[in-house]
Amino acid sequence: MTALPAIPELVAGRDDMRAFFADRPVLVTGGAGFIGSNLARALVGLGAKVTVLDSMSPSYGGNAFNLHDVVGELRFIEGDICDARETNQLVRDFDCVFNMIGQVSHVDSMEDPLTDLRTNVVTHVHLLEGLRKHRPDAKIVFAGTRGQYGRTEGLVDESARIAPIDVNGVNKHAGESYHFVYARAYGLRVTSLRLTNTYGPRHTMRTARQGVFAWFVRQALDGQEIRLFGGGDQLRDCNHVSDVVAALLLAMVSPAADGEVFNLGSKQPISLAEIASTIVTQAGTGSVTKVPYPPHLKSIEIGDYVGDYTKAQRVLDWQPRIELAPGVSDTVEFYRAHRDHYWTREIYP
Ligand SMILES: NC(=O)c1ccc[n+]([C@@H]2O[C@H](COP(=O)([O-])OP(=O)(O)OC[C@H]3O[C@@H](n4cnc5c(N)ncnc54)[C@H](O)[C@@H]3O)[C@@H](O)[C@H]2O)c1
């Protein structure tokens, strides 16, 4: 299968999207990371004047290769959003900000809660302070997470109880809450999408801690055994990153999304075991085995999660388009072709 196009199918044919973004200065914070880079590429395709700010910290998903072929078509700034002077200067140019900064590892958040606090909360306060002072007319789209809900039962809509079970979930909810406080107090326009497991090209592959899906792909392509903790019966509703990018773009252009939170989700929840076997089948290498749950991970395992995305469907006209098999195929082929830029012993041992 050929790679999916940079502009998601859901928005590619929409004149209103092209009209909104054409020649528009747009800031993508965390734009060299997984979701941010896929978003930046789509924005370039839509004709926006894209600026990417990314700290390129080796702990996170920022990777120069993610933007290597569009770097001449956007402005790339390597910098930390917590540098208040630079951030205050930078944000003056934008009324359109996609805030994709974050730390995604649940395990790391438990082992180093203060770093998680900095990356998932303090960063956002710096951005919001800059916008409050210099661009209170700005709209920000924020990437929240299903982790804000904690353990759930049945279909989860946006009214579900917020009860995170790990430090990451607490900090992600605090980060989102800051955005809405600044919206209410200072008039910034804010939308948060609570993302579920997102997979696809340009995710970091350095560690198992930052995304189980990506790690399974790496193991399969390396011909290794994928170890499923606790049997792999847990249900997930995975979104291909192209569907997530579509939702982010739709949220930005929709005035009805201002001040709102939206869950994303998939048409068909699927078990981790099924995800692993689909990856192994598509890769043609690797295998799957079931092992008992390590005790230190059991306490932060959320169990099943199935998001109700009917609000996003109704308000944003969004729905997931990419089924698991073609999505996995796109992902596996991307890493098969570009593995050296994501994991080699020389670069990322
Ligand atoms: N990937 C998922 O499955 C998933 C699920 C739910 C929510 N999210 C959220 O989506 C957002 C993006 O996640 P991702 O998977 O693309 O992660 P990622 O690590 O690939 O991207 C985050 C980027 O933020 C940058 N960054 C971190 N601290 C910074 C700072 N101080 N200044 C400037 N840049 C900084 C990193 O260098 C990195 O490139 C995060 O907020 C994450 O919590 C992701």
β-partners of residue 35 are none
Q: How confident is the model at residue 292 (pLDDT cuts 50, 70, 90)?
A: confident
Tell me what the mean pLDDT of segment 180-186 comes to. Answer: 98
Q: Is the CB of 157 under 6 A from ligand 1?
A: no
Tell me what the mean pLDDT of segment 28-34 comes to. Answer: 98
Phi–psi pair at 143, nearest 5 degrees: -100, 95
Tokens of 338: 């570009």
Average pLDDT, whole number, for the chain?
Answer: 94
Question: Of the residues 104, 114, 262, which should be mutated to test ligand 1's pocket, given the most ligand atoms within 8 Å of the CB?
Answer: 104
Measuring CA to CA, how many Å separate 44 from each of 196, 260, 289, 291, 329? 25, 26, 42, 44, 25
pLDDT tens for residues 77-122? 999 999 999 999 999 999 999 999 999 999 999 999 999 999 999 9
Cα 121 from Cα 115, distance rounded (Å): 10
Q: Examine the pLDDT at 4 and tell me if it is beyond 90.
A: no
Closest atom of ligand 1 to CA, residue 60: 19
Kind of pairing, strands 235-236 and 270-271? antiparallel
Residue 345 has a pLDDT of: 52
pLDDT tens for residues 207-239? 888 889 999 999 999 999 999 988 888 899 999
Q: Examine the pLDDT at 60 and tell me if it is beyond 90.
A: yes
Q: Is the CB of 102 under 6 A from ligand 1?
A: yes
Burial class (CB in 10 A: 0-12, 13-18, 19+), 22: exposed
Closest CA to 2 of 221, 278, 201: 201
Q: Examine the pLDDT at 51 and tell me if it is beyond 50.
A: yes
Q: What are the strands, taking DSSP E only, across the chain?
A: 25-29, 49-54, 75-78, 96-99, 139-145, 155-156, 189-195, 198-199, 225-229, 235-236, 239-240, 260-263, 270-271, 287-291, 306-307
C-beta of residue 197 within 8 angstroms of C-beta of residue 213: yes
Q: Examine the pLDDT at 41 and tell me if it is beyond 80.
A: yes
Q: Is the CB of 101 under 6 A from ligand 1?
A: yes
Using the mean position of ligand 1's atoms as its centre, give its distance from the Cα of residue 94 in Å. 20
Q: Which residues contact 190 (CB under 8 A, 6 or more apart)?
A: 139, 140, 141, 142, 179, 180, 182, 183, 258, 259
Using the mean position of ligand 1's atoms as its centre, give its distance from the Cα of residue 327 in Å. 21
Residue 346 has a pLDDT of: 52
Residue 349 has a pLDDT of: 42
Q: Is the CB of 66 under 6 A from ligand 1?
A: no
Count of beta carbons in the 10 Å neighbourhood of residue 336: 14
Residue 133 has a pLDDT of: 98
Q: Is the CB of 56 under 6 A from ligand 1?
A: yes
pLDDT tens for residues 160-175? 999 999 999 999 999 9
Tokens of 134: 């210099």
Residue 111 has a pLDDT of: 95
Measuring CA to CA, how many Å separate 254 from each of 18, 134, 190, 210, 317? 13, 23, 11, 31, 10
Q: Examine the pLDDT at 2 and tell me if it is beyond 50.
A: no
Using the mean position of ligand 1's atoms as its centre, give its distance from the Cα of residue 284 in Å. 30
